[in-house]
Amino acid sequence: MSLIIETSDLVKRYARFTAVSGLSLAVPEGAIYGFVGPNGAGKTTTMRVLTTLTRPTEGEARVAGYSVTAHPRAVRRSIGYMPDEFGVYDDMRVWEYLDFFAACYDIPENERRRLIDDLLELVDLTHRREDMVDKLSRGMKQRLSLARTLAHDPEVLILDEPAAGLDPRARVEIRELLVELASMGKSIFFSSHILADVSEICTHIGIIEAGQMVIQGSVADMRAQLTPWREIVVTLADGDAVGEARRLLEGMPRVLETGLLEPEDERARLSVHFDGDDAGVAGLNRALALADIGVLGFQEETKDLESLFMNVTRGVVS
Amino acid sequence: MTPTRVQLIDEAEELLEPRERALLGIARVLLGGALANGAALALTLLLALAGALRLWPGYFATAQGLLASGLTLAPDTAMAVVMLLLLADGGLLLVLMTGVLAREFWALPGLALLLLVNLAGLLLGGLTLAVVTLAPGAWALALSLREARSFRINPVMRKEFRGRMRGPRSFIVLTVYLGLMSAFTAMLYLVFGSGTVQGTGSAAIGAIGRVLFIGLVSIELLLILFIAPAFTAGAITGEREFGTWDLLQTTLLVRPALLIGKLESALGYILLLLFSSIPLQSIAFLFGGVTLAELVVSFALLSVTAIALGTLGIYFSAHTTRTLTASMRAYTVALGLLFGIPLLLNLPLFNAFVNAASGFGSGISASPVLEAIFVYVGFLLVSLNPVATALVTQQLLADRNVAGLWTLVLSSDGSTIPLVSPWISLVVFYLLISTILVALAVRRMRKVEA
């Protein structure tokens, strides 16, 4: 898969401090890439470099195959950018806002009307077409902003904190919109300081800390990388069978270890660490049944990303 | 302006779309034309100097034969016309270049008009140097016609104007403006109509007309001084303060288009104010004493002053980060221009032109060369100040019935030097200054955050 955003050893130094020091990003085409880090980690600076708003001090950044320093206009043509603050003109209607930005992207006047209708429908703002922009709620503004980034049908969306400051409902709406856009073939690169926002919809994640990439990759890879084994929780019907069950399981191939968990509703629970495939997991279950051990529950634990990252980053990412 | 390349668009090595490359090419041709006009102007000026200092006797006659054969004017006056043409052509080509880069709808008709005027000058006046404009202009026009679809109404202008005219605000401003002007007119009439101007007959009534007219034009000038920078000083800084600057920068909108759009919308509104007060000025006609020429000249002066002060505001807006700073700087320069130059004009030597134009003699009799130099210096200073220009123009109209070219008899040796009525030079200078300020502001905006 080719990379839609790529930076190598990106450095951005301001007079007094270094905002980004040696960042190497790799965002594959079609990915929903969550760029996570605490406030002040260098997320916005990186995005400003990628959107040609600021020049990198060192290193190279390419977006959609174009260098941000050598071909900024080509980069601008292929990105839709949403900054963390919503730029409102206080005396504009919703459709005029989109019309203006579409015109800024050289979209001919006779195509704009249909485009605006389509965009408003996509972000579900058709009923607010004639309203003044500054009268919209924050969530609506954010959706309008997203519609604006789509005006020229860019390949990549670069969104700075799209969900910040939204109420839970608006947050869900934005998230759904991002997934829909990804299904339309857009690559999405967005930042957040809240991992929970990211983990649900992202295909790829990068974690930045103090201007450097801590870890990045696809969510599936990362999960595999961070947990070398699968954890299966077995709930037994009969507390006395614990010893027998443990002996049996530990004798099976690819079982690393078993452990006793806190009983739940006075039922004995076993934790099994296993590094085999799905057939192996089924084999474990079958073995327990054949040994006539009563099993109430047999479930693989999926660890949420957050707790995994907490391990990796030693708690630096909140 | 650097002569080698157009600095007003993103780098040339940039991956441009075919259309963008074509527009850049047209802009380059126009810039070349403007620079050629500048070079021709410098050359003719140098030769005229040589001719005037008798280093090349008979220069003016030769030059007129070559460059202005169709003009039935004194040779040196004809050369003044040629130089003015070169200056105006150069400035207008720069304006058109910016217009082409910003893809303004007026660029094409404007270019065609410029070519027509120059063609007329070439055929009727024998102004051969019009070729310097005609050749690159025709080339640019041919190239532009192929790209005719690229030219459009500026989106920024449309957006700004929509916002400005929405709601009651702009109508209230217009009403208050006209109300104040009417009240002022009424006051002038009451004061001067009843008391000061004594006597009967049309002369006295004409005097009332003049007072009304002059009073209105001065108050309009004052209003423009305060309104024009205020409208434009926030043009760029406002976008930064609103948080929309970054958004605009990531679009494909080129910076000349942003700047010109802002300027168009601000100037459009100021022109609306000016137009709406023409009926009030016309009341002066009921009393007589005011000629149509004066009305036209005053409108031209007010308009170009508005344009110049507007671009001044936008220039500082591009150079600072805060609207307040930009306004203060713009007002400082505007006030200096309006009130500082008259101070300078009162100094000995610098007052040579004003004195001579008023018929008092320049006061310099030592040497004709020195006298001519200071007359021209004074003339340039006057041409930078709308008040002084208005007064001198009016004086010339009243005393000599001159609104265009005239000759001044030097008091030192009785020889004559050619001059134009200062309103013409002010219009040319102010437009030229505005163009240069726009170009500088665009360059400044190109600077990406380091």
Domains and CATH numbers, chain A: 3-224 (3.40.50.300), 229-302 (3.30.70.260)
pLDDT tens digits, one per residue of B53-98: 777 778 888 888 888 888 888 888 888 889 889 999 998 999 899 8
pLDDT tens digits, one per residue of A68-127: 988 888 899 999 999 887 777 878 899 999 999 999 998 988 999 999 999 999 999 999
Of the partner residues B242, B248, B250, the one whose CB lies closest to the CB of residue A79: B250
pLDDT tier at B201, thresholds 50, 70, 90: low
Alpha-carbon span B18 to B194, nearest angstrom = 70
Q: Among residues B258, B250, B255, which one has the least CA distance to residue A76?
A: B250
Is the pLDDT at A244 greater than 90? The verdict is: no
Q: What's the whole-number average pLDDT of chain A?
A: 86
Q: Please count the helices (runs of H) and the strands (runs of E) in chain A.
A: 11, 15
What's the whole-number mean pLDDT along residues B321-325? 89
Q: Which two structure tokens, joined as six digits, stand for A60?
A: 């190279």
Alpha-carbon span A135 to A91, nearest angstrom = 10
Q: Among residues A293, A296, A231, A303, which one has the least CA distance to residue A266?
A: A296
Residues in B closer than 8 angstroms to A105, CB to CB, are 251-252
Q: Among residues A32, A102, A165, A72, which one has the least CA distance to residue B13?
A: A72
Backbone phi, then psi, for A266, in 5-degree steps? 60, 25
Residues in A closer than 8 angstroms to B244, CB to CB, are 87-89
Does B244 contact A89 at a Cβ distance shorter than 8 Å? yes
pLDDT at B249: 86
Of the partner residues A70, A89, A106, the one whose CB lies closest to the CB of residue B242: A89
Is the pLDDT at B126 greater than 80? The verdict is: yes
Of the partner residues B155, B242, B253, the one whose CB lies closest to the CB of residue A88: B242
pLDDT tens digits, one per residue of A131-164: 999 889 888 999 999 999 999 999 999 999 888 8
pLDDT tier at B361, thresholds 50, 70, 90: confident
* Interface confidence (ipTM) of the complex: 0.83
How many percent of chain A have pLDDT more than 70?
94
What's the whole-number mean pLDDT along residues B420-435? 90
Query: What's the pTM value of the predicted model, to 2 decimals?
Result: 0.82
pLDDT at B114: 95
Is the pLDDT at A317 greater than 60? The verdict is: no
Of the partner residues A53, A85, A148, the one whose CB lies closest to the CB of residue B243: A85
| Closest chain A CA to residue B163 | A91
Mean pLDDT is highest, among A164-168, B159-163, B190-194, B365-369, for: B159-163
Inter-chain Cβ pairs, chain A and chain B, closer than 8 A: 89
Bridge partners (DSSP) of residue A297 are A235
pLDDT tens digits, one per residue of A17-51: 888 988 999 999 999 999 988 888 889 899 999 99
Q: Which long-range contacts (CB under 8 A, 24 or more apart) does B409-412 make?
A: B410/B362, B410/B368, B410/B371, B410/B372, B410/B375, B411/B356, B411/B361, B411/B362, B411/B363, B411/B364, B411/B365, B411/B371, B412/B364, B412/B365, B412/B366, B412/B367, B412/B368, B412/B371
Q: Which long-range contacts (CB under 8 A, 24 or more apart) does B432-435 make?
A: B432/B87, B432/B90, B432/B91, B432/B94, B433/B308, B433/B311, B434/B304, B434/B307, B434/B308, B434/B310, B434/B311, B435/B91, B435/B94, B435/B95, B435/B98
Q: Please count the helices (runs of H) and the strands (runs of E) in chain B.
A: 19, 2
pLDDT tier at B411, thresholds 50, 70, 90: confident
pLDDT at B42: 94
Nearest chain A Cα distance for residue B243, angstroms: 5
What's the whole-number mean pLDDT along residues B145-167? 88
Is the pLDDT at B317 greater than 60? The verdict is: yes
Better-scored residue on pLDDT, A246 or A189: A189
pLDDT at B11: 43
Owner of token pair 């009307």: A113
Residues in B closer than 8 angstroms to A104, CB to CB, are 155, 248, 251-253
Domain boundaries, chain B: 18-150, 155-339, 345-426
Q: Which two structure tokens, joined as six digits, stand for B343?
A: 């101070």
